[in-house]
């Protein structure tokens, strides 16, 4: 059950729900040297991000898992994130440790919608939630915290860098590793030449040079 809560905009409302159906293929980019698998949640390691990290009502840090509904959005939200929109270079150190994997939820998940009319219902728009820079992450993380307080299992938004596609973040105290299944059909390991070539071909159309 999801509840009415006060959102960072000051508006009290029940958020629109973005359902994530069982079997939906999600793409995730993660550091292959981290020791985490594609279905493992980040327990709170690393620098702040748009929606992490935050604490639950009991004071515990909420583990998170970022993913997207397309490979392009997953890459745009991760290793391509800081390449200028007009084009540039992707250095070997920035992509070589990374892997692109796939996973599927085994049950329906309830995500708070931070997109479209879902944002309007919360008294805000994308300029204050999904299109901000790192200098405002202390503000945007409060939206995820409010969604957690409302009883959602994660959040969904339109990727800022790939704004035709949906990105998601799942809450690791509401979604368990056993609720997710790795998809072995999605496996890009960018230290392998064949997958480096795939990444290079993808980046050509975005005027990004992948340095080998």
Tell me the backbone φ, ψ of residue 121, rounded to 5 degrees.
-60, -25
pTM of the model as a whole: 0.96
pLDDT, one tens digit per residue, over 101-137 is 999 999 999 999 999 999 999 999 999 999 999 999 9
pLDDT grade for 6, boundaries at 50, 70 and 90: very high
Q: For the chain, give percent helix, strand, coil, nearest 5.
A: 25, 30, 45
Inter-CA distances, 113 with 33, 131, 147, 192, 194, Å: 32, 15, 9, 36, 36
pLDDT, one tens digit per residue, over 67-98 is 999 999 999 999 999 899 899 999 999 999 99
Which secondary structure element, helix H or strand E, spans residue 90, and what is its range? strand 88-90
pLDDT, one tens digit per residue, over 166-208 is 999 999 999 999 999 999 999 999 999 999 999 999 999 999 9
For residue 157, the model assigns a pLDDT of 98
Q: Which residues touch 188 (CB under 8 Å, ≥6 apart)?
A: 71, 99, 100, 101, 195, 198, 199
Identify the structural domains of the chain with CATH numbers, from first to last: 5-210 (3.90.175)
Mean pLDDT of the chain: 97
């Amino acid at each position: 059950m999801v509840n009415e809560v006060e959102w960072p905009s000051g508006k009290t409302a029940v958020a629109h729900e973005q359902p994530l159906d069982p079997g939906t293929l999600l793409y995730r980019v993660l550091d292959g040297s981290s020791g985490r698998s594609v279905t493992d949640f980040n327990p709170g390691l690393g620098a702040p991000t748009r929606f992490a990290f935050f604490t639950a009502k009991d004071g515990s840090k909420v583990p998170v898992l970022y993913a997207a509904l397309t490979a392009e959005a997953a890459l745009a939200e991760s290793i391509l994130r800081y390449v200028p929109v007009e084009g540039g270079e992707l250095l070997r150190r920035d992509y070589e440790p990374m892997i692109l994997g796939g996973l599927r939820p085994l049950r329906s998940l309830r995500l708070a919608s931070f997109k479209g009319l879902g944002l309007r219902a919360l008294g805000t728009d994308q300029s204050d939630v999904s299109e901000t820079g790192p200098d405002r992450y202390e503000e945007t993380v409060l939206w995820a915290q409010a969604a957690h307080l409302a009883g959602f299992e994660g959040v969904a938004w339109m990727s800022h860098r790939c704004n035709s596609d949906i990105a998601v973040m799942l809450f690791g105290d509401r979604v368990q590793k056993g609720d997710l299944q790795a998809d072995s059909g999605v496996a890009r390991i960018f230290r392998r030449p064949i997958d480096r070539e795939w990444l290079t071909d993808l980046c050509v159309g975005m005027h990004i040079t992948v340095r080998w």
